[in-house]
Structure 1
Amino acid sequence: MKLLMKQRVFSWTDTYDVYDEAGNKKYFVKAELFRLGHQIHVFDVSGNEIGMIKQRLFTLLPSFDIVIGGREFGNIQKEFTFFKPRYEIDYNGWRCEGDFLAWDYDVYAGCSSVVHISKELFHWGDTYTINILNSEDEIPALMLVIAIDAANCTQGK
């Protein structure tokens, strides 16, 4: 299964539309404006909230809690490195490997790939392709990709 996440250009808030492979809008992602720390909400096309990402405050490096269906689901934290970003994922034994700055990375559960994320070239605004191998991992994988994007943006500010 493939999702396309399109970040809007020149937006006052961070908003994303997420589409399925056929180009149908599947999710809408919106960050809260004027809030201490990032809080990002993910909605289905009917407007129902399916998940939320909350930034942990007072941490040395960006750390985000992922909430799905009202329950704490996991956490992602940026690790200290000198050259390439690296993330620690506290969910189901998942781990990330690849080039996060170039948006070309994979998430693994043990030795098996769960999701591959890549940046599409030649698009207006940033467009990311999220290839998910198991449909049961769709929501967790999407939430993880959004949290990594937030961690990269937070660190740059």
Structure 2
Amino acid sequence: MRYLVRDKIFAVGDDYWIDDERGRHAFLVDGKALRLRDTLELKDPAGRVLVTLRQKLFSMRDAMTIERGEEALAVVRRKRLSLLRNHFRVILADGTELDVSGKILDREFAVEYEGELLADISRRWLTVRDTYAVDVVREDADAALLIAVAVCVIRMAERERG
């Protein structure tokens, strides 16, 4: 399933919809203003919170957590000792690791598990300006988690760029 994300709306406090490939609202990204740390909620169309994205406080390296309910689901960090500047690691609560690599700031990257493609993030098929697609490849994949990973990685790369 392919989801379309508008790119110019990544300010804290901004809310925006992520649409599916048929143009229907699939997820609402609810930016929480006036918080001590960068916080976003990914909600379904009915308004139920699916995951919460938070900037990790007091971390030696920049990191964001993805939470489901009150429990940490994943931590996203830039990969250490990588020759590629655009390489992130996602560590799930059960210890599973996902690799994120590619041209993050150009919105051309992939999320993989042990070499298997889970999601492809790209602008290359779109003519709509300032929009990129998150193409969730596996039917059994957690789309909300993969979209949250894409949002976290882009936010962290943009913050690092300055």
Question: Which TM-score band (shorter chain)?
Answer: 0.7 to 0.9
Number of residue pairs matched by the alignment: 156
Could you tell me how far 1:71 is from its partner in structure 2?
2.5
Partner of 2:113 in structure 1? 109
Whole-angstrom CA distance in 2 between matches of 1:156 and 1:14: 21
- Structure 1 unaligned spans of 5+: none
Say which SS state the counterpart of residue 37 (structure 1) adopts. coil
Partner of 1:132 in structure 2? 136
Could you tell me how far 1:10 is from its partner in structure 2?
9.6
Partner of 1:100 in structure 2? 104
Whole-angstrom CA distance in 2 between matches of 1:4 and 1:156: 24
TM-score by length of 2: 0.83
Whether 1:40 aligns to 2:45 is no
Whole-angstrom CA distance in 2 between matches of 1:32 and 1:12: 6
- Structure 2 unaligned spans of 5+: none
Say which SS state the counterpart of residue 57 (structure 2) adopts. coil
Contact 2:3 2:133 in 1 (8 A): yes
Could you tell me how far 1:60 is from its partner in structure 2?
3.9
Root-mean-square deviation (CA, aligned residues, Å) is 2.4
- 113, 120, 128: which one aligns with 1:123: 128
Give % identity.
17
Q: 1:11 to 1:102 in 2, by over 3 A?
A: closer
Q: Residues 37-116 of structure 1: matches in 2 within 5 Å?
A: 37-79=37-79, 84-91=85-92, 92-116=96-120
Between 1:66-75 and 1:23-32, the stretch displaced more is 66-75
Whole-angstrom CA distance in 2 between matches of 1:53 and 1:63: 11
Amino acid at match of 1:46: A
Whole-angstrom CA distance in 2 between matches of 1:88 and 1:11: 23
Whole-angstrom CA distance in 2 between matches of 1:47 and 1:53: 16
Whole-angstrom CA distance in 1 between matches of 2:3 and 2:42: 14
Contact 2:55 2:64 in 1 (8 A): yes
Whole-angstrom CA distance in 2 between matches of 1:82 and 1:107: 18
Whole-angstrom CA distance in 2 between matches of 1:54 and 1:90: 15
Partner of 2:24 in structure 1? 24
Could you tell me how far 1:84 is from its partner in structure 2?
2.4
Could you tell me how far 1:47 is from its partner in structure 2?
0.8
Contact 2:86 2:102 in 1 (8 A): no
Contact 1:8 1:15 in 2 (8 A): no
Partner of 1:152 in structure 2? 157
Q: 1:10 to 1:146 in 2, by over 3 A?
A: closer
